[in-house]
Amino acid sequence: MQASRARLFKEYKEVQREKAIDSDIQLVCDDSNIFKWTALIKGPSETPFEGGVFQLAFSVPEQYPLQPPQVRFLTKIFHPNVHFKTGEICLDILKNAWSPAWTLQSVCRAIIALMAHPEADSPLNCDSGNLLRSGDLRGYQSMARMYTRLAAMPKKG
Amino acid sequence: MEQKEEEDDEEEESSSVGSLNNELNPCPICLGPVNQEAYLDRCFHKFCYNCIAHWAKYVAARNSQPQFTLRCPYCKSDNISIVYECEGDSFQRHYINKELEKSTFFTKAHKFRLRCYYCEPGAIYNKFNVQRFWKLHRYLQPNKWLQFWLKREIQALTQEEDVDVVVHHILGSIESFTRQKERGPSKRTIEENREDFKALISDAARPFLIGRTKRFVDEIELFLVSCLNVEAYDEVYAQCVEMVTSGAVHEDEEERLQEVNRQLPYLHFFDEDTDTE
C-alpha cells in the first residue's frame, strides 16, 4: 500500500514535468484519490482515430506496480481489441506481460500503439476484428472513423 | 537544439557517481533512488534489492510451476539470480530457483574458508615452514588432498557449485609445474622456483578469481606446505584465525562475514594484484 502510493506520487511528479513534452497524452490524477487516474490521448495520425481525443480510466490496484493498473476506454471506440460496450482493453502488457517497469504514462503510449496496430486475431470486438480478418480494411476504417467522429470529437454547432 | 542535446549527454556521463546518478537512473520499479543496489546476473540492470526481490517473489507466487529464471522487468532478458551487497569483491546472490539456493554445497566449511580471506594470514605462517618446503623440493610430492581442498576453496570464493573445470585447470598447471621441475636439476634458486609456481597458478586462476587471485595463490601454497589433510588443516587455520580476530566461530557467520566485509574493503574485483602487495 505504502509502496504503491510512493510510486504513484513519483509518477505524478514525472507527469507534471513531462506535460509539455508529450502533448499526445494528458494524465490527470483524481483530486482525492491517487489510485484513480484519467487520461486523454490523441488518436494517432494516419489511423481512423486521427483527430479524436479518447478518454481512459485507470484504476490502480494496491499491489501496484507488482500488478498492472486496470484501464478502460471511457470514450466509445471501434477497435478489435477494445470491448465496444465496456471499453475493456485486450493488451498483453495489461495482463500476463505486465512488468513493474511500465508506468501509467508508458501504458498510455502502448495503448496509442495498439490503436495504430490492431490485433485482429484476439478480438474483444468481433465485428471490428472480422472486418479486418476478412480483409475489408475500408469497411473497418470507415466504421472506426465514424465512431471517432461521433464519440471522440467535439460536437459541431 | 543539437548543441543542447550534446550538453545533456555530457551531463549524464559526468554524473556517473553520486546522488545525481541515482536521480537520473532511478530504480525502474519504485522510480526512487536505488536503495541497496541489486543487479540481475545476465543483463546487469540495477534495482533496489527489495523491489526486485518483491517482484521475484510475486512472479513466483503467481506461477504454479517453479520458476528457474526471472525476466528482467526492464529488458525482458532471463536471469537466474539477483546479485546484491556488492562490496569490494564480495557479493551475495539470491537465486530465483530456490532449490539452488537451498542446495547443500555451500557448507559451514565453505563459509569459514571465505571468511579466511577477510583475515590477515600472518599468524598461520608461523605454523608452517615455507622455506623448508621449497628447499627440500617437497612440491614434487603429490598431495592427495589437494583436489578436494581446491574444489571447496573455489566453490567458496565463487559461490558456484560446479567448479570442476576451474579445479582441473589449476591442478593441470600445478602438474605441469612439477613435471617441469622434475625433469632435472635447474639453475633456478629456491626463491625463483617459488615465484615460478606462484606466477603459473596466478595466470591459471586469475580469470576466475580476479581480485582474490593473489591471496588464493598464497593459500594454495600454505595448504601444500602444511602437508596436512583438509580437516587437520582447517583446524590449525581456525586456531590462527581465532587468535587474530580473537572471536569464536559464530553460528550466524553470514552476519559476521558481512561485518568483516565492511571493515576490510581492501580487495576489489578488478584489482590487479601487482600493486596490492
State the angle between helix axes of B108-116 and B146-158 in degrees (0 to 180), rounded to the nearest 10.
80
What chain A holds in terms of domains, given with CATH numbers, is: 1-152 (3.10.110.10)
Q: How confident is the model at residue A103 (pLDDT cuts 50, 70, 90)?
A: very high
Do the domain assignments include residue B10? no
**Of A11, A66, A99, which is closest to B31 when you measure between CB atoms?**
A11
B49 touches chain A (CB under 8 A): no
Do the domain assignments include residue B178? yes
In the prediction, which pLDDT does B246 show? 56
ipTM of the complex model? 0.86
In the prediction, which pLDDT does B120 show? 77
Name B87's bridge partners.
B90
Whether residues B81 and B206 fall in one domain: no
In the prediction, which pLDDT does B271 show? 39
Whether residues B128 and B43 fall in one domain: no
Domain residue limits at B54: 23-102
Domain stops at, among B49, B80, B102: B102
Whether residues B53 and B123 fall in one domain: no
Residue among B148, B119, B140 at smallest CA distance from B215: B119
Mutate which of B1, B4, B25, B31 to disrupt the A interface (most A C-beta within 10 Å)?
B31
A61 touches chain B (CB under 8 A): no
Domain stops at, among B77, B102, B127: B102
Q: What is the mean pLDDT of residues A137-153?
A: 95
Residue A41 in grid coordinates: 490521448
Which chain A residue has the Cα nearest residue B53?
A66
Residue among B100, B92, B90, B54 at smallest CA distance from B73: B54
Do the domain assignments include residue B50? yes
Residue B138, CA distances (Å) to A47, B131, B262 in order: 83, 10, 38
Whether residues B94 and B115 fall in one domain: no
Q: Residue B137, by phi and psi: left (phi above 0), alpha (psi -120 to 50) or beta?
A: left
Whether residues B77 and B131 fall in one domain: no
Residues of chain A neighbouring B48 (CB-CB closer than 8 A)? none
In the prediction, which pLDDT does B99 show? 57
Q: How confident is the model at residue A33 (pLDDT cuts 50, 70, 90)?
A: very high
Give dist(CA B117, CA B105) in Å, integer: 19
CB contact under 8 A, A10 and B31: yes
Output the domain CATH number for residue B29: 3.30.40.10
Residue A59 in grid coordinates: 484504476
Domain stops at, among B41, B70, B102: B102
Do the domain assignments include residue B7? no
CB within 8 A of A134, min separation 6: which ones?
Answer: none
* Local confidence pLDDT in tens for the 277 residues of chain B: 444 444 444 444 443 444 555 567 899 999 999 988 999 988 999 999 999 999 998 988 888 777 788 999 999 999 888 988 877 667 777 877 765 555 677 788 888 888 888 777 777 888 888 888 988 888 888 899 999 999 999 988 887 888 999 999 999 999 999 988 888 767 788 888 899 999 999 999 999 888 889 999 999 999 999 989 999 999 988 888 776 655 444 444 555 555 544 444 334 444 344 444 3
Whether residues B250 and B143 fall in one domain: yes
**Of B26, B73, B76, which is closest to A100 when you measure between CB atoms?**
B73
pLDDT score of A55 more than 90: yes
pTM of the model: 0.60
CB contact under 8 A, B28 and A100: yes
Residues of chain B neighbouring A6 (CB-CB closer than 8 A)? 30, 32
Do the domain assignments include residue B11? no
Residue B9 in grid coordinates: 549527454
Residues of chain B neighbouring A99 (CB-CB closer than 8 A)? 71, 73-74, 76
Give dist(CA B48, CA A141) in Å, integer: 46
CB contact under 8 A, A100 and B51: yes
Q: Which residues of A are catalytic?
A: 90
Domain count, chain B: 2
In the prediction, which pLDDT does B15 show? 39
Do the domain assignments include residue B249? yes
CB contact under 8 A, A6 and B76: no
Whether residues B218 and B203 fall in one domain: yes
CB within 8 A of A92, min separation 6: which ones?
Answer: none
Do the domain assignments include residue B18? no
Do the domain assignments include residue B1? no
Residue A28 in grid coordinates: 490527470
Whether residues B177 and B263 fall in one domain: yes
Long-range Cβ contact pairs of B266-269 (< 8 A, separation 24 or more): B266/B88, B267/B88, B267/B89, B267/B90, B267/B117, B267/B211, B267/B212, B267/B215, B268/B88, B268/B89, B268/B211, B269/B88, B269/B89, B269/B210, B269/B211
B80 touches chain A (CB under 8 A): no
A6 touches chain B (CB under 8 A): yes
Whether residues B88 and B114 fall in one domain: no
Residue among B260, B167, B267 at smallest CA distance from B215: B267
Give dist(CA A34, CA B69) in Å, integer: 33
Q: Is A84 helix (H, G, I), strand (E, B) or coil?
A: coil
Residues of chain A neighbouring B51 (CB-CB closer than 8 A)? 100
Long-range Cβ contact pairs of A119-124 (< 8 A, separation 24 or more): A119/A80, A119/A81, A119/A90, A120/A80, A122/A80, A122/A81, A122/A90, A123/A80, A123/A81, A123/A90, A124/A80, A124/A81, A124/A82, A124/A83, A124/A84, A124/A88, A124/A89, A124/A90
Whether residues B199 and B234 fall in one domain: yes
Name B84's bridge partners.
B38, B92
Nearest CA to CA, how far is B134 from chain A (Å)?
59
Whether residues B131 and B250 fall in one domain: yes
Give dist(CA B207, CA B211) in Å, integer: 10
pLDDT, tens digit, 9 for 90 and up, residues A109-123 = 999 999 999 999 889
Phi, psi of A95 (to 5 degrees): -125, -110
CB-based contact A1:A9 (threshold 8 Å): no
A99 touches chain B (CB under 8 A): yes
Which chain B residue has the Cα nearest residue A3?
B30
Residue A34 in grid coordinates: 491517487
Query: Is omega for the bond preceding A65 within 30 degrees of 0, making it cis?
Result: yes
In the prediction, which pLDDT does B173 show? 93
Give dist(CA A2, CA B261) in Å, integer: 32
CB contact under 8 A, A103 and B76: no
Phi, psi of A15 (to 5 degrees): -60, -45
pLDDT score of A156 more than 60: yes
Residue A52, CA distances (Å) to A62, A109, A114, B213 in order: 32, 16, 15, 65
Residue A82 in grid coordinates: 477494445
Whether residues B95 and B136 fall in one domain: no
